[in-house]
Structure 1
Amino acid sequence: MSAVVSIAALLVGSGLLLLAGGLHGLLLPLAGLANGFSDASLGLLGTGWAVGYVSGCLAVPVIVKRVGHVRAFGALASLAGISVLLNLLFMDAAVWIVLRAITGFCFSGAAMIVESWLNERSTSETRGRIFGIYTMINLGATTAGQMLLTLGDPTGFFFFVLGSIIYSLSLLPTALSTAASPQPLTQARLDPKKLWRNSPIAVVAVFMVGISNGSFGTLGAVYGLRIGLDVPEIAIMMSLALLAGAVVQIPVGMLSDRLDRRLVLVGLAVTAMSFGSSLSFFGGTDPTLTVLLIAGFGGVVYSMYPVIVAHASDHAEPGDFLRISGGLLLIFGAGTMLGPLLASGLMTFTYPGALFQVTAAAHLSMMLFALWRMRQRASLPQEDKSDFVMAVSTAQITTPETVSLDPRTEVDDTGGEI
Structure 2
Amino acid sequence: MTELSPLFETLAAEFEARHGSRPAGFWSAPGRVNLIGEHTDYNEGFVLPFAIDRRAVVALAGAAPDAPALARVSSTFSDQIVELALADLAPDALADWSAYPLGVAWALAEHVSATSGTEARRALPGFALHIHSDVPIGAGLSSSAAIECAAAVALNEFWQLGLAPAELARIGQIAENQAVGAPTGIMDQSASMLGHTDAAVFLDCRSMNAESVPLGLYAEDLEILVIDTRVSHDHATGGYAERRASCERAAAEMGVKSLRELSVADLPRLQQRLDDETFRRARHVISENERVEQTVRLLETEGPLAIGALLDASHVSMRDDFEISVPELDLAVEVAQEGGAIGARMTGGGFGGSALALIRRPQRPALEAAVLEAFTARGYRRPDLFVVQPSAGATMKGHLDD
Pairwise same-fold verdict (TM > 0.5): no
Structure with the larger RCO, 1 or 2 (CA within 8 Å, 6+ apart): 1
Task: Using structure 1 for the length normalisation, give the TM-score.
Answer: 0.30
Greater Rg, structure 1 or structure 2? 2
Q: Which structure shows the higher strand fraction?
A: 2
Q: Which structure shows the higher helix fraction?
A: 1
